[in-house]
Amino acid sequence: MADAEEGRLERLTGMLKRRGIILPAFEIHGGAKGLYDFGPVGGRLRNKVNQAWLNHWISMGNIVELSCPTITPYAVLEASGHVGEFSDFMTNCNSCEEASRADTILEPHHANPDSLTKSDLQQLLGDVNPQCPSCGDSDWSPIVAQNLMFNTTIGAGKSGRPGFLRPETAQGMFTSFSSLYRHNRERLPFGAVQVGKGYRNEISPRQGMIRLREFNMAELEYFIDPEVDLEHDFSQWASLQMNLLSESDGEIIMSITDAVAKGIIRHPTVGMFMAKTFDFLTNIGIDSSKLRFRQHQSDEMAHYASDCWDVEILGSYGWVECVGIAHRGCYDLEAHEKATGKTLRARREFAQPKIVEIDGWTTDGATAGPAFRALAGAVKKAVEQLSSTCEFPTQVTLENGESVTVDSAHVKRVQRTESISGEWYIPHVVEPAFGIDRIIWHLLDHAYDESGKDGEEYVTLRLNESIAPVDYCVFPLFEKDGMGELARDIHRSLCSKFGTVSIYDASGSIGRRYARADEIGVPICITVDHQSLQDNTVTLRDRDSGKQSRISISEL
RNA sequence: GCGGAUAUGGUGAAGUGGUAUCAUAGGAGGUUUCCAACCUUUUGCCGGGGGUUCGACUCCCCCUAUCCGCACCA
């Protein structure tokens, strides 16, 4: 069984290469690890999957599409935590030049070296001075952070600023929050989607398209008010049993509706995106029996996340994570706020304005200014903290620790009633993130059917019509007597329709041409024969059933 | 990054210290050709770089890529 599966995987990748779907990139120069081409057929496939994905989310009505640069300044990814999180700290042995990870060689000397900062590690390395695992010497170079992101310089020469190729598309959507907020008339919830390239300089790309250095990702950021319980209508998924691997209950079969009701899915909006993700994947042709949701363990989730579910799809490489749906809290917007000092918030109006009685003190600028000079600002702050019953003169302690005497001439009473109509808050984010390459791989894997009609070796790629890269093949039964010309006319007229792709093929026997079309998953083949010349009808042949029907050319 | 295996037409394979064989696919022509039919003809390959040798696809070294473990990781 394993051998048969192995053979299948090789035949599948061979076919993908032979037919121009997925190929190793730059092969004539020896190739490059972790980089793939989508070929003349695959390019269109990728595009259709991207478009289906965009359409699926934009149809929600409150989701907009963004396109942000892949080149990203250092500061953005520093704020997001990627500069720190995506790093390994490396040190070189000065004797044998062997590179080692600092946290690995310090493992015997610290409970959790992974948690240390660079300078802590450097300190510990100097104190312990461990032996090189390779040559036994103890002479280490300074620690350098080796990041899994691709470095680049934005600009030339001295004006160049450090940057990276983005490791995910999400950050651009967070940094665009203000624009999104304005566009959506300052009302939550709303979302933004983006499909595009991401880059990670993986130590070891493996397993074909499963781990790449440049990959296609599609991410959605859905901004919500944490204090509003969104109403999601789960009724359409109520009877749909899902394969769930939950953190507390293990493997269970349950509808998403029930899992949300029981609190297994901790947030209804996460549940809603899980259900809609299921719809998307099955709509484009992922086999629902080879799909499951796996909840992250608490220690596996990023510290800021409150719930995270992966969609795993079963294929030739086993269960592979293809989508992650995470409740990220306010982490991202807050991180960019902290780093920039800009406000990335939404406003929440109170049902009833809050009436606040203010009764206290402030300074009188005319007297306090000359009296306290440079300290006047700090004195004002301190005085505004004083109770309304305070009596002057009094000693106040300033921020810098100094103590000054404030007397009644420096202050004035403040008594007023304020009505506060609302407040600003940092929205929370639910993020479904899709690995498009991995999804495409599984679409192909699930669609690849080697079962010939009579036990013969015959390949059909049973791709869903919505993503099939070629819509029609047009064949003249013979390329003579005018059949070729008629077939070319039909081909041209199909191609001129928006979004329709047709292939004209007149070489080889008709059976061979059907076989070629089946192998790249063309749903419908159109054949022009002698009868076509007389009555303007053609044969339509359906890929999956093989059934033929005659229809008039005008009905195509 | 460590260990192991591999690298020959587009694809899948065979083989040799003296430039390569087979199947399949592709092009052209023929055949009333509807599920990889047939006939003729044609195109196309030793991953890259060094070394040994009169001569290297073959032997040696390095590199690159692929696959499998380990490690790492959306």
Model pLDDT for residues A306-346, shown as the tens digit of each residue:
899 999 999 888 899 999 999 999 999 999 999 998 989 99
CB atoms within 10 A of CB A334: 16
Claim to verify: residue A191 and residue A303 sit in the same structural domain? yes
Determine what percent of chain A is predicted with pLDDT higher than 70: 90
Residue ranges making up the domain that contains A27 = 2-70+163-331+429-437
Find tokens 């080697």 and name the residue. Answer: A450
Claim to verify: residue A180 and residue A274 sit in the same structural domain? yes
**Euclidean distance between CA atoms A503 and A521, whole angstroms:** 12
Is there a domain that residue A241 lies in?
yes
Model confidence band, residue A27 (pLDDT cutoffs 50, 70, 90):
confident
Minimum-distance nucleotide, CA of A433 to C1': B74
Model confidence band, residue A58 (pLDDT cutoffs 50, 70, 90):
very high
Evaluate if the CB of A303 falls below 7 Å from strand B. no
**CA geometry: angle A283, A285, A289, nearest 5 deg:** 100
**Euclidean distance between CA atoms A468 and A48, whole angstroms:** 8
Minimum-distance nucleotide, CA of A26 to C1': B65
On strand B, nucleotides with any atom < 7 Å from a protein CB are 1-2, 10-12, 25-28, 31-38, 47-48, 64-74
Claim to verify: residue A302 and residue A364 sit in the same structural domain? no
Mind listing the pLDDT tens digit for each residue in A499-545? 899 999 999 899 999 999 999 999 999 999 999 999 999 999 999 99
Phi, psi of A480 (to 5 degrees): -160, 180
Name the amino acid, one letter, at A152: T
CATH of the domain at A549: 3.40.50.800
Is there a domain that residue A206 lies in?
yes
Claim to verify: residue A257 and residue A400 sit in the same structural domain? no
Whether pLDDT at A97 is above 60 = no
Residue A350 vs residues A190, A353, A421, A457: alpha-carbon distances, Å = 20, 6, 6, 69
With b for 16 or more beta-carbon neighbours within 10 A and e for fewer, the A10-20 pattern comes to eebbebbbebb
Claim to verify: residue A66 and residue A91 sit in the same structural domain? no
Claim to verify: residue A189 and residue A285 sit in the same structural domain? yes
**Euclidean distance between CA atoms A83 and A89, whole angstroms:** 12
Claim to verify: residue A222 and residue A173 sit in the same structural domain? yes
Is there a domain that residue A339 lies in?
no
Q: How far is the CA of A205 from the C1' of B65 (A)?
A: 12
Is there a domain that residue A14 lies in?
yes
Claim to verify: residue A368 and residue A244 sit in the same structural domain? no
Mind listing the pLDDT tens digit for each residue in A285-310? 999 999 999 998 877 677 777 899 99
Claim to verify: residue A170 and residue A204 sit in the same structural domain? yes
Strand B near-CB residues (< 7 Å), A 431-470: 433, 435, 453, 456, 458-459
Q: What is the ipTM of this complex?
A: 0.85
- Region of A81 (left: φ > 0; alpha: ψ -120 to 50; beta: rest) is left
Claim to verify: residue A184 and residue A290 sit in the same structural domain? yes
Strand B near-CB residues (< 7 Å), A 394-433: 433
Strand B near-CB residues (< 7 Å), A 501-530: 507-512, 514-516, 519, 527, 529-530
CATH of the domain at A125: 3.30.40.230
**CA geometry: angle A70, A43, A505, nearest 5 deg:** 165
Find tokens 């934005």 and name the residue. Answer: A154
Tell me, what DSSP letter sits at residue A27? G
State yes or no: cis peptide before A73, omega within 30 of 0: no
Claim to verify: residue A203 and residue A189 sit in the same structural domain? yes
Is there a domain that residue A408 lies in?
yes
Cβ-contact A195, A50 below 8 angstroms: yes
Q: How far is the CA of A509 from the C1' of B22 (A)?
A: 24
- String of DSSP letters for A194-211: EEEEEE---SS--TTTTS
Helix, strand, coil in percent for chain A, rounding step 5 = 35, 30, 35
Helices (H), A316-435: 331-340, 365-372, 376-384
Q: What is the pLDDT of residue A116?
A: 64
Is there a domain that residue A82 lies in?
no
Claim to verify: residue A54 and residue A171 sit in the same structural domain? yes
Is there a domain that residue A134 lies in?
yes
Is there a domain that residue A363 lies in?
yes
Average pLDDT on A75-93 reads: 78
CATH of the domain at A175: 3.30.930.10
- What does the CA dihedral A366, A372, A375, A380 come to, rounded to 10 degrees? -50
**Euclidean distance between CA atoms A64 and A220, whole angstroms:** 9
In this structure, what token pair is assigned to residue A9?
């995987």
Q: Is A425 exposed, middle or buried (0-12, 13-18, 19+ CB in 10 A)?
A: middle
Number of compact structural domains in chain A: 4
**Quick check: helix, strand or coil at residue A260?**
helix
Q: Which of A113, A147, A181 delimits the end of a domain?
A: A147
